Chain A
Amino acid sequence: MKAVELLDLIPDNGVLSIIERNYESDGDLFVLLLIKHLLKQKKTVFVLLYDPFLVFKENLEEIGVNLDEVLGKTLFILDIFGSVHKIEREIEGVYQIKGYIDDIVFVDKFRDVFFYKVSSISSEEIWLFTYLSSSICKLFSNPLMTYKRLLPVKSTVTQVMKSIKVIGVYNVCECPGIERIVYPYSDIIVETLFKDGRKMGIVTKGYEETVFELFGGD
């Protein structure tokens, strides 16, 4: 299986989750390849960024995406990491949640900002990524609760969009507990695993349970 074939499997308003069983498997880079592919196809990509912006940016540039060309046009980022840590940025296409933030306030503000920004995008379909969902555990005092309260927000977007397809990536070690929700909530799940020197993907839900090389020839 190739990375891009996975994208075709996601139904309208469906959810694909990439679960990094161990971080050495580079499941996050696999996700960046998916983003790269979609951007090439001129698809609209919206990223919920729970990690430092520069890490995301540099990793994406490393695989050949020129952020300046796409930001604010087909790529939009909600910089949650920067919002929580009050690292202000003035970059087109990068949004932040302003003011005081705690777990509860965050969800309310997130709902407003996310809905407002998505509504202003002129596209019928968006691809919503997280980078990485598990990093929510580093940002909030009650991260599991915050995560669960964020999930329903996705469905509010269907009022203004024909389809929102979600691709989330989680590192299990950094945020145990989320997995319990991710499994029943997702249509398709791919676990990524570093074992015996190989970086593998294993489809564990929603499709034939195949094992494949994560970075094989794509």
Chain B
Amino acid sequence: MYSWEFDILDREIGKIKPTSYILFHEMDARSRGRELIFEFMKRKLEKGSLMSFFNVSCPLSVLFVMFKRHGIEPENSLESDRFAIIDTFGSIYNIKYNVKNVWHIEGSISIELLSPKTAHIVKRIKERWAQMWNIHEKELWGVVMDISEYERIFSEEETLRYLEVAGEVRRRHEAYIKFPKGTNIWVYSGEGSRVLPSLYRRSQYVLRTKSEITEDGVKRELIVLKTPKLGKTRRFEYAFTKEGIKIRPVD
């Protein structure tokens, strides 16, 4: 079982079952939910986990600025062969950077081709990791940030097909048979459409962040909507302080 890298979550909802899908639903930007993911990534990388990050949101240089603002040193991590970035955004819009362990999808990119091409890259990354490390003893993580961008790049219809149909077929690819499977986090932002329920059903864990402005400032809430322990939901409040992120249970 893997840690959430926040003790309170390990304690209150239990650790993570390897190879799970975790849907992380950042309902509004002010909740700054993805900063919890950045913190998670930072801690996992520091502990030597192997991680691939699927960049769907923005140019790589912008992503690097975001990483650095939140304590992740992308260059060092990439250099150390523990971290890899699949730059979907840069591939689609042809904004490519030549950085070690940053991968681009070559050639034309339609939603049909995205899946096999991505699987092929995942295989190459895992091959590399297998040379460098004993990957059977490492935690393997995949983080997609963020999946709702697909709806804007392609369409809702196409995104659904990609996630559902291609998702079924992709797991037959060598990348997932010959090598250990990773544990995946899908970040989804905004109010959900048809894609969100589909992701929800596929995920073993669903966490949601939202915020509201109250008399005393911003109130941020993390709701654990779904875990393998059926029926149990938990609510937490969290805050960004000088000492870091503070999470505490509500009720």
Contact = CB atoms under 8 A, between A and B. Distances in A.
Contacts, number: 67
A144 B151 CA distance: 13
A184 B215 CA distance: 24
Contacts of B66: 184-185
Contacts of B146: 180
B92 to A, nearest CB: 10
Contact of A180 (B70, B93, B189, B213): B189
Contacts of A184: 32, 34-35, 38, 66, 69-70
Interface string A164-196: 000000000000010111111101000101000
A155 B61 contact: yes
Contacts of A105: none
B147 to A, nearest CB: 12
Q: Which of A181, A183, A184, A210 has the most CB of B within 10 A?
A: A184
Chain A's interface size range is 20 to 34
Given A148-B58, A151-B59, A151-B62, A204 B34 contact: no
Contact of A187 (B59, B69, B213, B218): B69
A209 interface: yes
Nearest to B95: A149
Contacts of A181: 57-58, 62
Contacts of B29: 179-180, 182-183
Contacts of B161: none
Contacts of B213: 21, 191, 193, 202
B65 interface: yes
A183 B218 contact: no
Nearest to A183: B29
Nearest to B60: A152
A4 interface: no
Interface string B198-225: 0000000000000101011110000000
A211 B70 CA distance: 24
A202 B219 CA distance: 12
Contacts of A152: 59, 61-62, 95
A199 interface: no
Chain B's interface size range is 20 to 34
A149 B66 CA distance: 15
B218 A204 contact: yes
Contacts of A148: 57-59, 62, 89
A209 B218 contact: yes
A209 B30 contact: no
Given A180-B146, A181-B57, A181-B62, A211 B217 contact: yes
Contacts of A21: 213
A177 B151 CA distance: 12
A210 B216 CA distance: 8
Contacts of B61: 151-152, 155
B154 interface: no
A145 B56 CA distance: 12
Given A179-B29, A183-B30, A185-B62, A149 B152 contact: no
A149 B240 CA distance: 29
B165 to A, nearest CB: 26
Given A155-B61, A177-B152, A191 B217 contact: no
A178 B126 CA distance: 34
Interface of B: 29-30, 32, 34-35, 38, 57-59, 61-62, 65-66, 69-70, 89, 93, 95, 146, 152, 189-190, 211, 213, 215-218, 239-240
9 contacts: A180-B189, A181-B57, A181-B58, A187-B69, A193-B213, A202-B217, A204-B218, A205-B240, A211-B217
**Chain A to chain B: the 4 pairs with minimum beta-carbon distance, closest first:** A179-B29, A183-B29, A209-B217, A184-B66
Given A148-B89, A185-B65, A204-B211, 7 more contacts: A151-B59, A180-B29, A182-B29, A184-B70, A185-B62, A191-B30, A202-B217
